[in-house]
Amino acid sequence: LSMSDKWWASYFQGVVPRTAGFNTLDIGALTLPSKVYMMGLMFIGAAPGSTGGGIKITTFVLILFALWTVLTNKEEINVFRRRIPKSLVYRAFSIATSGIIFVSIIFFLLTITEKGVDMSTLLFETFSASGTVGLSANFTGDLSPVGRILITIMMFIGRVGPLTIGFVLAIRSNKQS
């Protein structure tokens, strides 16, 4: 690709892993750092009002603010002179942690069912399913029947899981207040 085309391809492939599932490049031929970066984007996902999957941008940003608060040794999370309630921080960490746990479980099971396949390929497929992105490292069609079921389960969890956890935690906090 020309330098201009490389920039456009990078931009497009930086947006796509968050929701769209289109690709202009051969994902399987990307370098490992590129795949890892895309996995991070797929895990974070889209904006809260969209139909995209992932833990959502707002959840990720809230975790970053919480991390910054801890690193700067402050007691409360303040963003633009507004205090963020700890219940929202706990909810964000719960959503992200459950996402990591589900991805880890499905990835582990895929390493058992898909013998001889590169771990980065299996992890990419798992993150893609978790974020309901639709990208593949050229392996989805080669999954075993059990592997296809596992990826389907991951897609269902990825689409419904974070949303359900968020609603359950919101309902619980409303009942307590």
| Per-residue pLDDT reduced to its tens digit, 66-118 | 999 999 999 899 888 899 999 899 989 988 998 999 999 999 999 999 999 99
pLDDT of residue 51 exceeding 80, the answer is no
- CB of 158 within 8 A of CB of 53? yes
Give pLDDT, residue 36. 93
Residue 32 lies in a domain: yes
Does residue 65 belong to any structural domain of this protein?
no
Residue 24 maps to a domain: yes
Residue 130 CA to its chain's centroid (Å): 6
Assigned domain for 73 exists: no
> Considering the domain boundaries, does residue 84 fall inside one?
no
Enclosing domain of residue 50: 3-55+90-172
- Specify the higher pLDDT residue, 80 or 22: 80
Q: Is residue 85 part of a domain?
A: no
Spacing of C-alpha 56 from chain mean position: 8
Show Cβ contacts of residue 175 under 8 Å, excluding neighbours closer than 6 positions.
Answer: none
Domain for residue 101, yes or no?
yes
Is 68 within a domain?
no
Number of domains in the chain: 1
Give the total residue count for the chain.
177
Q: Specify the amino acid at residue 70.
A: V
Separation between Cα atoms, residue 27 and residue 98, nearest integer Å? 27
Alpha carbon 157 to chain centroid distance? 12
Residue 147 confidence (pLDDT) above 80? yes
pLDDT tier, 27 (very low <50, low <70, confident <90, very high otherwise): confident
